Amino acid sequence: MFKSLKLIVKLLPIFILGALGFTTNSFAQEKVIRIGLLYPISGPGSYFGVMGREGTDLAIEQLNKTGVKGYKFVVDYNDSQCSPLAATNVVKKTLENFKPHIVVGEECSDATLAVAPILEEAKVPLLNAGSATMKLTESGYKYAFRIFPNARQQTDSLAVNAYRKMNAKTAVLLYEKTNAGIDISDTFERTFTLLGGKVVARIDFARDVNDFTSIATRIASLGPVDVLLTSALEGQTVKLAQALAQAGITKGGGGKAVQIGTIWLPWGFDQKAGKASVGYTRIAQFDPSEQRPIVQNFVKAYKAKYGADKVPTHINAHAYDTIMIIAEAVRKGATDSESIRNEMLKMKDVEVTTGKITFGPDGQNQNMSVIHYVETQPDLSWKSLNW
């Protein structure tokens, strides 16, 4: 009898603390918006996860200083590993344990497509800012939203500008062999050939290819080409650009061809690639030199938090924007999944760091101000092209 009494006495503080914790938690839970996050945090995909986290943390910190309409924001990070299996597992976990009002993610198209049906069934909105796949907003999902331009939006614009403004008649498509790389190349080819252009070659490569001299040599052997559509991540694109310059194909190496691309490269790419990147013309979703106050404030806040020598990338910006969009919905009176969804559908020209957002009925952002073009100058700075 005494033994059990002793036990109870020992455990009592825990119960009290637990009860307190429970009540304070539920107290705090009264006016809280829960945001579940799916980012690749482990493995090579963490390239995206690390930057996504930075952007998200900054946004949350800023918002929670004052709250929005009395609401604070709480996030739950989940490692979706850029893989369908991991993503479906963690999305189920967060839906059950954390019960988010909205989920943000993922970066890899196949993982995003894997979780979309689950969130659709759970009636929890999915806000994506990283996959280009058309399937996300063309499969009839009512709860999937995306502020990132889809593959066709990116490449239609690019193909038209390449053909008309750059007078390009021939193109070579260079891409990493992934969902995103293939999607972008396919949609570009379709539009470009419809306009009258010709795709001379399609060259794909795995994500672990390091040396692009052989590829550059092959392209050189194809004869003169006008544009080289490049769809690869920063690390590989630096090597590729340098190889193309070495081979004398691109402007940066004394040639005539121009590399073009969509939203793959962060600011800072040009410094890394050096001379080879001169003339590179591409869509940059986020331009840290843009004078819009919202952009400048973001850059300043980012530097203050993460170091004055760092410059935010488009991945940081996207993550930040997703949280801000949610905050905007809350500002308009949303308090749960359904109302967040309804407010997002109503959004018109909501300004974020990457442009303005207006969601179409399929959940895709229709406002093309998110597409801005830049060209790398000889001094490696960006010149905005008003296309």
CB of 82 to another protein, least distance (A): 8
> Measured between alpha carbons, how far is 195 from 96 in angstroms, rounded to an integer?
50
Of 40 and 363, CB closest to another protein: 40
Q: Are 240 and 218 in contact (CB under 8 A)?
A: no
172 has which bridge partners? 201, 228
- The values of phi and psi at residue 357, to 5°, are -115, 125
Max Cα–Cα distance, the chain, nearest Å = 93
Residue length, the chain? 387
What Rg, from alpha-carbon coordinates, does the chain have? 23
Using alpha carbons, select from 129, 135, 69, 139 the residue that is nearest to residue 102.
Answer: 129
The three-point CA angle 229-231-232 to 5° equals 140
Nearer to another protein, 18 or 254 (CB): 254
| Residue 252 DSSP code | G
* Tokens coding 27: 């107290």
Which residue number, 177 or 348, has a Cβ lying nearer to another protein? Answer: 177
Least Å distance between CB 279 and another protein?
Answer: 17
Nearest distance in Å: CB 384, another protein: 25
CB nearer another protein, residue 108 or residue 327: 108
Q: How far, in Å, CA of 185 to CA of 174, rounded?
A: 8
CB 228 within 8 A of CB 257: yes
- What is the binding site for another protein (CB under 8 A)? 41-47, 49-51, 77-79, 83-85, 88-89, 92-93, 95-97, 110, 113-114, 117, 135, 177-179, 181-183, 203-206, 208-211, 213-215, 217-218, 220-221, 234-236, 238-239, 245-248, 253, 272, 274
Nearer Cβ to another protein (317/324): 317
Instruction: Select 239 or 341, whichever has its Cβ closest to another protein.
Output: 239
